[in-house]
Amino acid sequence: MSVAADRIADVDPARIRAFKERNPSWRGNKETRIREELGLSPARYVVLLERAAASLEGMQADPLGARRVLDFTPPRIRWGSQ
C-alpha cells in the first residue's frame, strides 16, 4: 500500500466529522487546514465526508450534520449513487 493510501486509511469517519464540526465553512484557509490536519487533498476530504455522512454510523452520530452534507451534494454525483 502506498503512503497516500495509508494516510487515507488512517482518516476514520469520526475524525472527518469532527474536522467538519470545527470548520463548518470554507472561509479562510480551510484547504490548508485539510492538508495539514488530515493529510488529504480538499477533493478527497469532500469524498470521505460524503461517505461518512452516508454511512449508518454517520447518520446515527449526527443526523442533522449528515443530512446537511448529503443535501449539499446533488444525488446524481453523490458517492455511491447510480
Output the CA–CA distances (angstroms, integers) from residue 27 to 14, 35, 76, 77, in the order listed: 22, 15, 26, 24
**Longest CA–CA separation in the chain, Å:** 35
Task: Note the pLDDT of residue 43.
Answer: 92
Residue 44's identity, in one-letter code, is R
Task: Note the pLDDT of residue 77.
Answer: 59
62 in the Ramachandran plot: left (φ > 0), alpha (ψ -120 to 50) or beta? beta
C-alpha cell at 3: 503512503
- Is residue 77 included in any domain, yes or no? no
Task: Note the pLDDT of residue 51.
Answer: 92
pLDDT by residue for the chain (82 residues), tens only, comes to 454 555 555 678 889 999 999 988 878 799 999 999 999 999 999 999 999 999 999 899 999 999 998 888 766 555 555 5
Task: Note the pLDDT of residue 73.
Answer: 73
- Is residue 63 included in any domain, yes or no? yes
* Domain ranges, residue 56: 3-72
- Is residue 24 included in any domain, yes or no? yes
pTM, two decimal places? 0.74
How many domains does the chain fold into? 1
Please calculate the CA angle 54-58-64 and round it to the nearest 5 degrees.
90
